[in-house]
Structure 1
């Protein structure tokens, strides 16, 4: 799936003195298979942007175009389908195609485990899939594979989700989105509240999903995780995109980050200090690459 965002605007408190543009003329394109981080200060527009991506809210101006492969029910042949979300199209007539978008674009919000409500993990995982038209028998079979994909074994399926740790609940919530078989998944602060081990496990799941072909987009305040795992970064400020490009190129620009009230990454700050002291470090995006560069310098 390809998502084209064309100059969207979202206005809150329209008739009040507190009126403001939560999203202000944003354009971007998200292509199938990308691994993207969205960064920016609290209130910069990250969450509001994500809420537009599967029709939870609609723009007050501009439009969002979704292009994907669908199957013709009459001929059983694949064809390219395009659905456009805009205020004009979705506020003045019946919402058409929205279910197709929500099936293909999943959104996992911060502390998604609070959305768990069923008696068993299996029922929680299959709930969304069944609501999207997947037969119950198929959804149950899929749940066996999906629970292992998120790092839990099948014995968890008949357990209560409320007996799990916070990190395990988060994985079950992710499994519920995966059960709907989306092409694209947006995560809003997916590692919030997790311990270091939980963070590492969660990000490894995202990396595995991305390598399987899914588009992964994470909104995060942790720039070190963005550096290590994502290839492209979109920077929001005051409802606008102020930079969009290669993650390393953006996050290695400490002056840009500081000017926009973001803390430079610990990894690149340390690498910069080593270079100041005479080591040749160059481009590194994770601790293993940095250790390799340090060892190479020690050998020379």
Structure 2
């Protein structure tokens, strides 16, 4: 663990990254995810079975080791119990401390909250895509669907993009605006729309140069009558998104469903390139954390 930390700390500093994955369930007896958020250590305990004495001893070793490496007390570690789940469940409210802090990622600042929600405000697995979006959407018009805290848009906006950010959660839209403010971006050049993505795509008549579509695997929000199942519904989402693209526009489609299969009929209608391997961060051992595709109109 110490060797791993020293290597990744140097890599992160070299790339101006405050938040990264230190450990990714690399040993079966230690089924943890350990993330570094600036000077804080976050542990996701993925065990869902009954914990026996052996596992309890391993847990103690992990906690003790992290405290020694980072010179902190056990109380300063942030531990979250977490079974395998859909991305939508990561949005669940846990607390209300509103204890946020700034973290750097490339040229952007992200507001992080490690205590109030299952997730933190920043999906670490999409770091390469956020950094890539700075050039893909430079001086262009970007539509960010299921925008969460809109850090994809922040990276693009720092390079002159105008953005439209759509999400059903008012909490995350307000967080999005705060992220823009933290980066000294003019909110008047960007739109934040609280609406179902399905409804938005049905009504919207605008055109965009780049669309980022990153839906949850499953969602049955009380704010909309439609239940989202990405395997079943991705065809509709992609079709409607493609209708909103300018000529030569680009749709980036991603999701976290591990056994996701793209509808074969879409390959007959669009030019689709699987770019998943290019978008998995080098600090992740899990190469199936998400899938990602570039989708363009046929020539």
Normalising by structure 2, report the TM-score: 0.30
Flag the structure with more relative contact order, 1 or 2, with Cα contacts below 8 A and sequence separation at least 6.
1
- Which of 1 and 2 has greater Rg? 1
Normalising by structure 1, report the TM-score: 0.30
